[in-house]
Homo-oligomer: A and B are copies of this chain.
Amino acid sequence: MKRSLQQVKALTFDVFGTVVDWRGSIIREMRVLADKKDWSIDPAEFADAWRDGYAPAMDQVRRGELPWLTIDVLHRMILDDLLKQFGITGLRDVEIADLNRVWHRLKPWPDSVRGLKRLKTKYIIATLSNGNLSLLMHMAKFSGLPWDVILSAELAKHYKPDPESYLTAAQLLDLRPEQVMMVAAHKSDLDHAARTGMQTAFVTRPKEFNPDKKTDLKYERRFDINASDFVDLAEQLDA
The CA of A137 and the CA of B134, in the complex, are separated in Å by 17
Question: Shortest beta-carbon distance, A202 to chain B, in Å?
Answer: 26
Given A141-B124, A148-B140, A150-B149, also A134-B173 (CB < 8 A): yes
| In-complex Cβ contact of A137 among B70, B124, B141, B154 (8 A) | B124
Q: How many copies does the complex hold?
A: 2
The reply on A74 being an interface residue by CB < 8 A is no
| In-complex Cβ contact of A172 among B124, B133, B149, B173 (8 A) | B133
A148 and B137 form a contact (CB under 8 A): yes
The closest CB in chain B to the CB of A173 belongs to B134
Given A149-B150, A150-B149, A150-B150, also A174-B141 (CB < 8 A): no
Question: Shortest beta-carbon distance, A12 to chain B, in Å?
Answer: 13
Question: Which residues in window 128-155 of A have CB below 8 A to B?
Answer: 132-134, 137, 140-141, 148-150, 154-155
The reply on A164 being an interface residue by CB < 8 A is no
Give chain A's interface residues, CB within 8 Å of chain B.
Answer: 70, 72, 124, 132-134, 137, 140-141, 148-150, 154-155, 172-175
